[in-house]
Amino acid sequence: MVSSKIQFALTLLSEAYYYAQDVGGDIWNFAVEIETLREVGLTPNDFRWLVAKGYTEPGCEKTETCDCQRRMSVCQGRSFNKRTCKRRACFILTEAGLAFAREVAKQISIGEPPAQPPSDDKNNGRIPLPPPHWDGELRELHVNGQLIKRYKTPAPNQQAILEAFEEEGWPPHIYDPLTVNPSQEQPPKRRLNDSVKGLNSHQKNRLIHFSTDGTGEGVRWEWINNG
């Protein structure tokens, strides 16, 4: 069984495929933006795997404001690199990807790729949210398209923690990434505590909570139960 984040991504890609098929249009007109796929939890390695398996095909959007239709530059070969990872990168589902999506759908016994993530009994039957997404370029933290926190001015320590979570795919716990820069005069435990407090303060939508792990050597995050 593939991970839930891959299931969610296949849902979006399949939906785009069916939309293009329904109107008889070019599938690239319905290509799914990389940011949309990141918001359901895909990491760079997930993108690399989907492309290497031939399930998705990457492209780069060239559409300008004056264009009536989307314009795409299709990437050649089964590769995914930093250039592909630019903000205007988009993806379509290949024929092999569609077959894979249908097989995954059969495995979860719903017949077609789901229109939304499956419910989680541990979450009182509600649809679970995808992992958070940290956009280092914009200095913004999002959850499922909702802005959690935006940094108008740099906050290097907080941003380093968010970058570490993003790179590791948002596991529940990471070790203190600030120890790689010991040049700061502040004691490591206090520096980490202050950074975690900063992460929790001034959130636009309070959906997640950060905490230290009790040893002073790691950081945790968890969902906030808003009822």
pLDDT of residue 113: 42
DSSP secondary structure code for residue 116 in this structure: S
Average pLDDT on 53-71 reads 76
Please return the burial class of 31, using the count of CB atoms within 10 Å of its CB with bins 0-12, 13-18 and 19+.
buried
Say yes or no to pLDDT of 82 above 50.
yes
Please state, for a pLDDT cut of 90, what percent of the chain lies above it. 30
179-226 residue pLDDT tens: 755 555 678 888 999 999 999 999 998 889 999 988 888 999 998 864
Residue 93's pLDDT band, with cuts at 50, 70 and 90, is: very high
Average pLDDT on 80-84 reads 56
Average pLDDT on 74-102 reads 73
Say which residues have a Cβ less than 8 Å from residue 97's Cβ, sequence separation at least 6. 10, 13, 50, 54, 55, 56
Rounded Cα distance, 224 and 227, in Å: 9
Residue predicted with more confidence, 2 or 35: 35
pLDDT of residue 207: 86
Tally helices (H) and strands (E) across the chain.
Answer: 6, 10
Average pLDDT on 116-133 reads 55
CB 135 within 8 A of CB 166: no
Average pLDDT on 1-24 reads 85
Say yes or no to pLDDT of 103 above 50.
yes
The two tokens of residue 84 are 């592909």
Average pLDDT on 55-76 reads 72
Say yes or no to pLDDT of 78 above 60.
no
Residue predicted with more confidence, 2 or 59: 59
The two tokens of residue 133 are 């997404």
154-168 residue pLDDT tens: 999 999 999 999 988
Residue 118's pLDDT band, with cuts at 50, 70 and 90, is: very low
pLDDT of residue 65: 62
Q: Phi-psi category of 24—alpha, beta or left, where left has phi over 0 and alpha has psi -120 to 50?
A: left
CB 84 within 8 A of CB 126: no
Cα 131 → chain centroid? 7
Say yes or no to pLDDT of 111 above 80.
no
Q: Phi-psi category of 109—alpha, beta or left, where left has phi over 0 and alpha has psi -120 to 50?
A: left
At 75, give phi and psi (nearest 5°): -75, 140
127-152 residue pLDDT tens: 456 789 999 999 999 987 789 999 99
Residue-by-residue DSSP string for 170-195: --SEEE-GGGG-TTSSS-HHHHHHHH
The two tokens of residue 30 are 């319905």
Strands (DSSP E) along the chain, which ranges? 32-33, 56-61, 72-74, 89-93, 133-135, 140-143, 146-150, 173-175, 208-212, 218-223
